[in-house]
Amino acid sequence: MLAYFDCFCGISGDMTLGAFIDIGVPLKWLKNSLERLPLKDFDLSVESISRSGIKAQSVHVLTKDNLKSRHYAEIKALVQNSPLSQNVKEKSLEIFERL
């Protein structure tokens, strides 16, 4: 499967997750996939929104530690130390490097 993003104004993680939900990726599958990463106590919630006539799915990442964001070095370590396949690790980090 291949997805193209036209990020002329940038894109955040929650926007990316919302785009996946909007094209039909099941929320349960997304949660199960993210649970393979060494993350603790998180949940995802989805809300249908409309802004300036554009409809979208807004994904909220809920955490107990109220962590707002992670730096690239932390994300890289999470991915590298996960049980994901080597191919998925490489592609994931390549995407983060481009963003």
Note whether residue 59 is domain-resident: yes
Same domain as 58, residue 30:
yes
- 64 or 76, higher pLDDT: 76
State the pLDDT at residue 67: 67
Segment 29-46 shows an average pLDDT of 87
Phi/psi at 83 (nearest 5 deg)? -85, 15
Same domain as 41, residue 30:
yes
Structural domain range at position 30: 12-67
Same domain as 76, residue 60:
no
Distance of alpha carbon 41 from alpha carbon 61, whole angstroms: 10
Distance of alpha carbon 66 from alpha carbon 48, whole angstroms: 23
Same domain as 41, residue 28:
yes
Model confidence pTM above 0.85: no
Same domain as 73, residue 59:
no
Same domain as 55, residue 75:
no
State the pLDDT at residue 95: 84
- pLDDT band, very low/low/confident/very high, at 54 (cuts 50, 70, 90): confident
Least confident of 31-35, 62-66, 81-85: 62-66
Q: Contact, 30 vs 44, CB < 8 A?
A: yes
Cα of 16 vs its chain's centroid, Å: 6
- pLDDT band, very low/low/confident/very high, at 51 (cuts 50, 70, 90): confident
Q: Is the pLDDT of residue 69 over 80?
A: no
